[in-house]
Amino acid sequence: MRARRALAAACLALALGVPAAAAEGTRTPLGRVELVGPLQRVELGFPDGSGTTVAIPLASGEHRTLTLPLPSPSVAPDAQPRITVEGVGSARFAGWVGDDLTRLRQEWERLPPGLRLRPRPPALEDAPQRGPPLAALLVACAAFLLALRLRRRGLAALGVGLVGAAATYALGAPSQASGRELSVLEGDGTSEVWLAVHVGRERLVLEPADALRLETRPPRAVLDVLVDEGPHGLRWTLRARGATLDRLDLVSLEASVLTREGPNRLGALTQTWVRDGGGTWTRRGPWPAGATLPDALPGPGEPPGWMNPALPMGVGVLVARRSAASAEVEASGKAAERWVRVVGF
């Protein structure tokens, strides 16, 4: 009975053009909002705390209709945002962009199943820490020695200890999310449809584009979207405290751009690892554009562990770090690391 009710609700939601966020996979279905000035900003919120803030001031009488990402957590027919307007103008939710959801679903189905299910790479800020930095250790030692020397002067020793502790904490505290991004171009070795995965920790800045999907880890993390004017028009800043954000895009590339026998037609690769069908990894070093695959180098051959998570066995795999000048990866100016991973190489 519950299954029938859920199915009926989902069908009704689709019929009414409401975004089936859970079924479609994207956290940011598009909706239309009509704005009339004067106003300073508009907030569109949902019951789970997610929402979109439009920080675009409008003058008196100015009218704009915007298509915006609205992180609705619900598939119910009444999934409409709660609107708060800062100013004496008005804002009206004009409905979901239902045809966009259909397009996204059709595009997603073009991908080989292996690419859809491949584990997402971790955000850079998720990398394990090796310990406090050297500067923090030196400050701690210096403060301890000075406090020991001043131990007969109680207040002075206490003050030195507090200052040293504060300085040590400041130097050793983990850095906050800075918008650094990681990009991985995923291929399956036979398909000409590739998947570009752009990963950010807690924050991802986009310009309005036809992103295939936007996912969060955990899937239902509270997501906040800020819409404002960027250097090239509207800009979307996605924020999810304590979560990882994944933007997924389709890339059309010939399957033969990277093969064991042919030249590298993708772009310069600065580090390269190859796994054979038996599961043995070899390190190949740099692979310049236009050159054939280099021979194996001596020494340990496995790539970074986060790029080798439970990949299918019995087939070859290529893992490589890309040059920052690689043209196929979107130049966001924030991607600190760019990689490619091909299963079936």
What residue numbers bound the domain in which 158 lies? 134-172
Report yes or no: 164 and 144 within 8 Å, Cβ to Cβ: yes
* Structure confidence at residue 15 as a pLDDT band (50, 70, 90): very low
Q: Are residues 330 and 186 in the same domain?
A: yes
Q: Are residues 146 and 282 in the same domain?
A: no
Q: Are residues 142 and 229 in the same domain?
A: no
What mean pLDDT value characterizes the chain? 79
Asked if residue 226 has pLDDT above 80, the reply is yes
Q: Are residues 154 and 195 in the same domain?
A: no
Q: Are residues 53 and 78 in the same domain?
A: yes
Q: Are residues 211 and 99 in the same domain?
A: no
- Residue 6: count of CB within 10 angstroms of its CB: 11
Asked if residue 4 has pLDDT above 80, the reply is no
Share of the chain above pLDDT 70, in %: 71
Element (H, E) at 161: helix 154-172
- How confident is the model at residue 152, as a pLDDT? 62
- How confident is the model at residue 3, as a pLDDT? 43
Q: When comparing pLDDT for 176 and 314, which is higher? A: 314
- How confident is the model at residue 53, as a pLDDT? 98
Average pLDDT on 3-29 reads 48
DSSP states of 282-340? EE---B-TTSPPPPPBSS-----GGG-SSPPSSS-EEEEEEPTT-TTS---S-EEEEEE
- How confident is the model at residue 230, as a pLDDT? 85
Strands (E), 149-287: 181-187, 193-206, 213-217, 224-230, 233-252, 269-275, 281-283
For residue 129, tell me if it sits in a domain: no
Beta bridge partners of 85: 42
Structure tokens at 266: 């993708």
Q: What is the DSSP letter of 253?
A: -
Tally the domains of the chain: 3
Q: Are residues 32 and 55 in the same domain?
A: yes
Q: Are residues 141 and 188 in the same domain?
A: no
For residue 18, tell me if it sits in a domain: yes
Indicate yes or no: pTM above 0.75: no
- How confident is the model at residue 233, as a pLDDT? 85
Q: Are residues 25 and 143 in the same domain?
A: no
Beta bridge partners of 235: 228
Asked if residue 129 has pLDDT above 60, the reply is no
* Structure confidence at residue 186 as a pLDDT band (50, 70, 90): very high
Q: Are residues 186 and 222 in the same domain?
A: yes
pLDDT tens-digit readout, 229-264: 988 888 999 999 999 999 999 999 998 999 999 999
Q: Are residues 164 and 75 in the same domain?
A: no
DSSP states of 89-158? SEEEEEEE-HHHHHHHHHHHHTS-HHHHHSPPPPPGGGSPP-SS-HHHHHHHHHHHHHHHHTTTSHHHHH
Contacts of 323 by beta carbon, 8 Å cutoff, 6+ apart? 267, 268, 269, 270, 338
- How confident is the model at residue 179, as a pLDDT? 47
Asked if residue 140 has pLDDT above 60, the reply is no
Q: Are residues 240 and 300 in the same domain?
A: yes
Asked if residue 11 has pLDDT above 90, the reply is no
- How confident is the model at residue 79, as a pLDDT? 74
* Structure confidence at residue 24 as a pLDDT band (50, 70, 90): low
Asked if residue 23 has pLDDT above 70, the reply is no
Average pLDDT on 156-162 reads 51
Asked if residue 80 has pLDDT above 70, the reply is yes
